[in-house]
Amino acid sequence: MSKKTGSFTLPGEAGYEKLTLELAEKWGADVIRDSDGTVLSDEITKTGYGIYSTICIIRDHNEWAKKHPDKLQQTFLMSDPVTAGSGDSVLVIRPLSGYFTEQFRVNDSADSIRYWQVFDRTADIEVDRSKWAYNAASGEVTINDCVPYHSYTVNFLAFQIWEQISMYNHVTNNWDKEHLMPIDPRTQECRDYMTKWFTDWCEAHPDTTVVRFTSMFYNFVWIWGDDERNRYRYSDWGSYDFTVSPKALDDFEKEYGYALTSEDFINKGRLHVTHMPPTKKQLDYMRFTNEFVVGYGRELVDIAHKYGKKAYVFYDDSWIGVEPYSDLFPKFGFDGLIKCVFSGFEARLCAGAKVDTHELRLHPYLFPVGLGGLPTFSEGGDPALDAKKYWISVRRALLRQPVDRLGLGGYLHLTEGFPDFVDTITGIVDEFREIKELHADGGVYTLPIRIAVLHSWGSLRSWTLSGHFHETYMHTLIHINEALSGLPVEVKFISFEDILSGSEKATEKCCDTTSCCGEENGSNKEDQAAEKKNMLGNVDIIINAGRAGSAWSGGDAWNNPELVAKLQKWVYEGGIFIGVNEPSAVSDSMYGFAMADVLGVGLDDGARVCHGKWTFDIDKELAERVFVENGTKKAANGSGSDDVKLPCKPDIYLTDGKAHVLAEKDGIPVFTMHEYGCGKGVYLTGFEKNNTSTRMLLNLLMAAKGLDKEQNYITDDPDTECAYYPGSGKLVVINNSEVEKHTEVKTEKGTIGFDLKPFETKIDKI
């Protein structure tokens, strides 16, 4: 295959055979796929292209499902609370009231009711089982001996009677067809059925070269309400709640030696959102389910392989038990991972997974409307512009770490009115192939900056928090991950447990002097070496970024003096701890941040409202180093560049007055740097991803690490970036903006200027 073909998956469409083959030629496709709602004709499948076929193994089995209504997937739900009035010693609750009854049906089998619980939420205590009963005929729970003006809820199990993705498409597009039910492979009976069905399917699809599993068995959690004013009651792209069943819970108890209750899932009606720190029980249950999904998933993959087909999995966005960064993931035996991408962090998520083939499904999909209902391939849409905008987010990530393939999805015929789009994709795919080739010639040049992002989930949730950027934009960390995805630095994701268990390697350097920072060090060298084995030796910078109490900040994990002392030691010996928003936040503590000694700032929960605040001057030299970029007009003053949106957090205060303040808002420091031994604590009130803030972050990383400001292979305009590949001597310069740019890059061979058109990529051998 020539340089200009291959590595691209085209969505084919029966009835548009000519178009399919034309575009396959134009875009240099080597694979043709089907999509939801399309089929491929023989005219397409017999032309020698590779053929992907899409399978969602747990739906489209309504006939079997109707015969086995107890084998549907389930979930715990909590009834809406009902308050007892003065005379209401007896309350009656209809559990499903308020939920979308087309999605759920109460599971009122004896097996299920064992797991139900009733709570007095006002007193925060469980109601004894002797005081309540479920009446199957009326569908009501009756609670006796209620306390007046206390509020009661029922935790119960419900079957999912409409598979949610299908439900969403059905409702959105006003389809008129049978509701698809999700079947649960937890029972042997169901697995036997699915295994046979899949074997038959492989027999019936000889032309298929790749089975594309639309993930495995369990969806993320999406609970609908009956009121259109709150249809999407709950949406968590990382939650395991839709995997429960009496059998799963019974199996869990046998395996883990303790029983889970409904309340372990319901958690006062709040459930356990992925953005909060997981509990031990939650992690146990996830592991239990992850092992189950991998175990049976492997059986299906083996069948595909037996039929000479490859098995790829489509991971969008975290279909349950299929996390690519779980240590169990390689056991699936998948040949490829396909990830739909809007953002750079999603490209890195895909690129870093341990699998042979990494493929990105680009946006926009070939659908009439896109995200939020705006037109794409219909009147008023500009799919070429959309494609360019998504591409510049993804492109910078691919400069750092490559993937193997790109692809599109949807209805190919929709491209017919949009020749601009066709040309844009041609350009993108060509650019992609060139970038891929650069990586093949050796790695990309990276600054000597090794970053660990520290949060409760660690590597399991590398790059993604859960879901897409637009679903998680309220979390500081996704902005940071997105910025990091294209920066010339090393990035990994670690958990608090990683630090405590000492899974990190020995430190490589401390201070230059033997006694760190000139202070006497009384312990002997052997002790130090032994200790360092447990420290973050191969990390230069740790980033902890999130709201207090969240999984991204860490919550109670910080109430551990061992963790704090280890990190303080690491910083003291030269590490850099960057905290953003409410890092290391702990309630009822001296300073509000467990790492306050390092950061030099604290978070007041109101207990310090009578305490004085240190006045400060802006450290202009440091602020200029971080905010100002040569040759740009995006200079910043003490209050920070307008583009670098650092919010005012009135509860932030300087602890010892020694932090350098780089920016302030309304008199409150919003960006600080604090010396701590040989290391530093850096604090920012927030981070909002854009070109300028991304460059500010890079400047900060370089300044904190102590690198000289003048580095090779950094552009001088924040709207542009570059990547240098020493193996081939090639320099890629990209324009991440919609306007023309001139940018200069210092290289080993002198400074080189580039004129770039909007969105343009230029590749020069230097």
Q: Active-site residue numbers?
A: 317
Q: Which residues pair with 117 in a beta bridge?
A: 155
Q: Does 677 bind a copy of itself (CB under 8 A)?
A: yes
Q: Does 86 bind a copy of itself (CB under 8 A)?
A: yes
Residues 465-494 that bind a copy of itself (CB under 8 A): 474-475
Structure tokens at 247: 């059998």
Q: Does 607 bind a copy of itself (CB under 8 A)?
A: yes
**174: exposed, middle or buried (Cβ count in 10 Å: 0-12, 13-18, 19+):** exposed
Whole-number Å distance between alpha carbons of 75 and 78: 10
Helix (H) or strand (E) holding 734: strand 730-735
Q: Quote the DSSP letter at residue 366.
A: B
Interface region with a copy of itself, contact rule CB under 8 A, candidates 169-177, 411-419, 433-441, 588-596: 588-596
- Looking at 261, 357, 589, 728, which residue binds a copy of itself (CB under 8 A)? 589
3-state secondary structure of 408: coil
Q: Does 273 bind a copy of itself (CB under 8 A)?
A: yes
Q: C-beta of 154: minimal distance to a copy of itself in Å?
A: 14
Half-sphere exposure of 93 (CA within 13 A, CB side): 29
Instruction: Closer to a copy of itself by CB, 59 or 461: give it.
Output: 461
Structure tokens at 271: 């459930």
Q: C-beta of 115: minimal distance to a copy of itself in Å?
A: 20
Instruction: Closer to a copy of itself by CB, 449 or 622: give it.
Output: 622
Q: Does 227 bind a copy of itself (CB under 8 A)?
A: yes
Structure tokens at 644: 């670098």
Instruction: Closer to a copy of itself by CB, 43 or 471: give it.
Output: 471
Instruction: Closer to a copy of itself by CB, 139 or 657: give it.
Output: 657
**699: exposed, middle or buried (Cβ count in 10 Å: 0-12, 13-18, 19+):** buried
Residues 631-650 that bind a copy of itself (CB under 8 A): 650
Contacts of 73 (CB under 8 A, 6+ apart): 58, 159, 160, 182, 183, 184, 218, 242, 243, 245
- Looking at 189, 192, 497, 519, which residue binds a copy of itself (CB under 8 A)? 519
- Looking at 25, 192, 232, 667, which residue binds a copy of itself (CB under 8 A)? 232
By rule CB under 8 A, what string of x and - marks binding of each residue 560-579 to a copy of itself? -x--xxx-xx--x-------
Instruction: Closer to a copy of itself by CB, 547 or 634: give it.
Output: 547
Burial code (b: 16+ CB inside 10 Å, e: under 16) for 657-684 equals eebbbbbbbeebbbbbbbebbbbbbbbb
- Looking at 46, 66, 129, 231, which residue binds a copy of itself (CB under 8 A)? 231
- Kind of pairing between the strands at 761-765 and 151-160: unpaired
Instruction: Closer to a copy of itself by CB, 115 or 224: give it.
Output: 224
Residues 112-151 that bind a copy of itself (CB under 8 A): 120-124, 147-151
Is residue 675 within 8 A of residue 658, CB to CB? The reply is yes
DSSP string computed for 440-502: HTSPPP--S-EEEEE-SSGGGGSS-SSS-HHHHTTSHHHHHHHHHTTSSSEEEEE-HHHHHHT
Whole-number Å distance between alpha carbons of 297 and 322: 9
- Looking at 236, 346, 359, 717, which residue binds a copy of itself (CB under 8 A)? 236
Q: Does 271 bind a copy of itself (CB under 8 A)?
A: yes
- Looking at 6, 225, 370, 729, which residue binds a copy of itself (CB under 8 A)? 225
Q: Does 660 bind a copy of itself (CB under 8 A)?
A: no
Interface region with a copy of itself, contact rule CB under 8 A, candidates 263-271, 299-307, 331-339, 722-730: 263-271
Q: Does 667 bind a copy of itself (CB under 8 A)?
A: no
Instruction: Closer to a copy of itself by CB, 30 or 80: give it.
Output: 80
Q: Quote the DSSP letter at residue 515.
A: S
Count of residues binding a copy of itself (CB under 8 A)?
Answer: 80
End-to-end CA, the chain: 27
Q: C-beta of 536: minimal distance to a copy of itself in Å?
A: 14
Structure tokens at 620: 């202009």
Q: C-beta of 169: minimal distance to a copy of itself in Å?
A: 19
By rule CB under 8 A, what string of x and - marks binding of each residue 276-315 to a copy of itself? x---------------------------------------
Q: Does 85 bind a copy of itself (CB under 8 A)?
A: yes
Whole-number Å distance between alpha carbons of 615 and 77: 51
Residues 345-404 that bind a copy of itself (CB under 8 A): none
3-state secondary structure of 430: helix
Distances from the Cα of 745 to the Cαs of 36, 209, 716, in angstroms? 45, 45, 7
What angle, 0 to 180 degrees and rounded to 10, lies between the N-to-C axes of helices 419-440 and 383-400? Answer: 0
Q: Does 549 bind a copy of itself (CB under 8 A)?
A: yes
Q: C-beta of 182: minimal distance to a copy of itself in Å?
A: 20
Instruction: Closer to a copy of itself by CB, 149 or 175: give it.
Output: 149
The distance of Cα 562 from the centroid of its chain, to the nearest Å, equals 29
